[in-house]
C-alpha cells in the first residue's frame, strides 16, 4: 500500500465528456434490482439498488468518475451528494451513506475501486462498488495490473537524467494488484522500467511488474496455497492440468474458491478450483476488456433492454466468456454488472 495521506488528498476532476449517457425518456419510473425487502435501498441517478453490485458503467458520466492527481477534499462529499438511501423497499426512512475510499490512491494514475454502503437499523447492508480513474491519462495511456515483488508491494523508482533513484519516494510502494496507467518504457543498465502518471513523469516501476514476467508465488509464507473467492460469470467447462476437457460444467453466478495465481496451460490462462483438479478459463471469471466501436444499448433479452443506458463508442467494458446466440439469431456478450436476476448483454457486433 502507498503510505500517503490519501484521504486528505481526494478530489473530483472537472466533468469530462461522458462515456455513458441515458437515453431520453418521458417517465420517472425506476426499477429495483434483485429485490430483497429487508435490505436498505440505495438510489443513484433515479435507479434503486437493494443488492450488492458493481455500477461502474452507471457512474461513468458522473462528475466523480475521474479524480485528478493529488486530489482535494471534496470527493467524498460529492459522492455522498449523488447517492441516497432508505431503510428498505417498504420503509422510506432515510439511512446514512458511507463512502469507503481506502483503496483509492490519488498520487498514482490508474483505476481504483470506491464503495458506497448503506446499513439499516436491522443490520442489513447494501454495497455498491465502482471504479474511478485517477489522473488525466489522455490517449497515450495503457492500463496494466502491477504485480507484487515483495510482500504484496511494488517498488517505485524515480529516473532523472538517465539515473535510477531507488525508492526515492521514501517508503512509498504500490499495492500489488493495482491497475495503473502506463506511458511507455525506458531501459537503463539492462533493466526495463515502465513510466507512471504521465508521458513526462519521472515516476517508474520495473516493467516486469506489469508485463506478466515477474514470477508470483502460488503459496503464502507458511506454505499454504494462496486462494481467492470469485464469482463465476459465465457457465464454464472444467479442464484438467493438461488442458483437456473433463466433461464437467460449472454454472454461472456461483462463488468459487480458486488458486490466487493463474496457470498458463497451452497458451490460455486458467484458475484451479481449490480442492479439485479442475481448471476454469480466466475469461469466464475475470472477463475480457473490450472497446465499443459503435454506440450500444444493454439488453436483458433479445427483445427487451435492461435499462435506458446508452454506452458510447470508445467505451471499454468487461465481457465474460464466449458469446450467446439469442432467439433473434444475433450474438451477445454478457457484461459487467450482470447477476442471476439482472441480465445484461451487449451485441457482439458493437465490438467489431
* Under 8 Å between Cβ of 107 and 6: yes
Residue 16 pLDDT exceeds 70: no
Domain coverage including residue 236: 227-284
Mean pLDDT across the stretch 65-72?
Answer: 82
pTM over 0.75: no
Residue bearing the bigger pLDDT, 170 or 325: 325
Q: 257 and 152 in one domain?
A: no
Q: 167 pLDDT exceeds 50? A: yes
Residue 216, domain member (yes or no): no
- What is the reported pLDDT for 3? 39
> What is the rounded average pLDDT for all residues in the chain?
82
Is there a contact between 95 and 123 (Cβ–Cβ < 8 Å)? no
12-39 average pLDDT score? 44
> Is 338 found in the same domain as 320?
yes
217: in domain: no
- Predicted local confidence at residue 252, as pLDDT: 96
Proportion of the chain above pLDDT 90, given as a percent = 48
Give the DSSP H or E segment for 175: strand 173-175
Nearest residue to 273 via CA among 286, 260, 257: 257
Same domain, 13 and 125: yes
Given a contact cutoff of 8 angstroms between Cβ atoms, the answer to whether 258 and 229 are in contact is yes
Return the pLDDT at 259: 87
Q: Which is nearest to 280 in space by CA: 322, 334, 235?
A: 235
179 plus 264 within the same structural domain = no
The answer to whether residue 222 is domain-embedded is no
CATH code, domain carrying 249: 2.30.30
Tell me how many degrees the CA angle 219-171-217 measures, rounded to the nearest 5: 10
Q: What pLDDT is attached to residue 137? A: 61
Residue 295 has pLDDT above 50, yes or no: yes
Model pLDDT for residues 254-284, shown as the tens digit of each residue: 999 998 878 878 778 899 998 888 999 999 9
Mean pLDDT along residues 182-189: 88
For residues 19 and 61, state if they share a domain: yes
**Grid coordinates 470527493 are at which residue?**
75
CA proximity to 157, closest of 188, 113, 124 = 188
Could you say which of 284, 304, 327 is where a domain stops?
Answer: 284
**Residue that has been written with the C-alpha cell 440505495 in this structure:** 42
How many whole angstroms separate alpha carbon 287 and alpha carbon 292? 15
pLDDT in tens, 120-151: 999 999 999 999 989 866 556 788 888 765 54
Domain membership flag for residue 56: yes
Q: How many angstroms separate the CA atoms of 182 and 315, rounded? A: 19
How many domains does one find in the chain?
Answer: 4
DSSP characters over 136-184: ---TT-EEEEPPPSBTTEEE-EEEETTEEEETTTTT-EEETT-EEEEEE
219, part of any domain: no
202 and 159 co-located in one domain: yes
Pair (90, 12) in one structural domain: yes
Q: Is residue 337, in this structure, part of any structural domain at all?
A: yes
Whether 344 is in a domain gets the answer yes
| 263 grid coordinates | 496457470
Look at residue 1 and tell me whether its pLDDT is greater than 50.
no
Whether residue 215 lies inside any domain: the answer is no
pLDDT recorded at residue 209: 83
d(CA 36, CA 75): 30
Same-domain check for residues 273 and 176: no
Q: What is residue 177's predicted lDDT score, i.e. its pLDDT?
A: 76
H or E element at residue 58: helix 56-59
Contacts 24+ apart (CB under 8 A), 248-253: 248/278, 250/278, 250/280, 252/340, 253/339, 253/340
Q: Are residues 40 and 105 in the same domain?
A: yes
Q: Are residues 301 and 339 in the same domain?
A: yes
Are 270 and 292 in the same domain?
no
Amino acid at each position: 500500500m502507498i503510505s500517503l495521506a490519501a484521504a486528505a488528498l481526494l478530489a473530483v476532476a472537472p466533468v469530462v465528456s461522458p462515456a455513458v449517457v441515458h437515453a431520453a425518456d418521458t417517465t420517472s419510473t425506476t426499477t429495483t434490482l434483485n429485490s430483497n425487502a429487508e435490505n436498505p435501498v440505495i438510489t443513484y441517478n433515479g435507479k434503486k439498488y437493494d443488492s450488492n453490485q458493481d455500477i461502474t458503467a452507471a457512474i461513468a458520466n458522473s462528475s466523480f468518475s475521474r479524480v485528478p492527481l493529488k486530489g482535494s477534499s471534496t470527493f467524498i462529499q460529492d459522492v455522498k451528494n449523488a447517492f441516497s438511501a432508505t431503510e428498505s423497499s417498504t420503509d422510506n426512512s432515510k439511512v446514512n451513506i458511507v463512502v469507503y475510499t481506502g483503496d483509492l490512491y490519488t498520487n498514482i494514475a490508474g483505476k481504483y475501486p470506491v464503495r458506497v454502503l448503506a446499513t439499516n437499523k436491522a443490520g442489513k447492508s447494501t454495497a455498491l462498488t465502482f471504479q474511478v480513474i485517477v489522473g488525466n491519462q489522455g490517449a497515450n495511456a495503457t492500463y496494466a495490473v502491477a504485480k507484487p515483488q515483495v510482500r504484496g508491494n511494488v517498488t517505485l523508482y524515480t529516473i532523472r537524467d538517465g539515473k535510477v533513484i531507488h525508492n526515492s519516494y521514501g517508503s512509498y510502494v504500490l499495492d500489488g494488484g493495482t491497475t495503473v496507467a502506463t506511458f511507455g518504457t525506458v531501459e537503463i543498465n539492462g533493466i526495463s522500467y515502465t513510466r507512471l502518471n504521465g508521458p513526462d513523469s519521472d515516476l517508474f516501476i520495473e516493467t516486469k511488474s506489469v508485463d506478466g514476467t515477474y514470477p508470483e508465488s502460488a503459496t503464502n509464507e507458511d506454505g499454504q496455497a494462496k486462494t481467492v473467492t470469485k464469482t463465476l460469470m459465465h457457465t464454464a467447462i472444467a479442464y484438467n492440468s493438461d488442458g483437456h476437457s473433463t466433461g464437467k460444467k460449472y454454472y454461472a453466478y456461483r462463488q468459487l474458491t480458486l488458486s490466487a495465481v493463474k496457470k498458463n496451460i497451452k497458451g490460455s490462462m486458467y484458475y484451479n478450483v481449490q480442492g479439485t483438479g479442475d481448471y476454469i478459463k480466466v475469461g469466464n471469471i475475470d472477463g475480457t476488456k473490450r472497446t465499443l466501436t459503435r454506440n450500444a444499448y444493454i439488453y436483458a433479452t433479445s427483445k427487451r433492454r435492461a435499462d435506458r443506458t446508452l454506452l458510447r463508442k470508445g467505451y471499454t467494458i468487461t465481457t465474460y466468456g464466449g458469446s450467446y446466440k439469442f432467439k433473434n439469431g444475433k450474438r451477445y456478450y454478457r457484461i459487467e454488472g450482470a447477476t442471476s436476476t439482472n441480465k445484461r448483454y451487449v451485441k457482439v457486433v458493437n465490438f467489431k
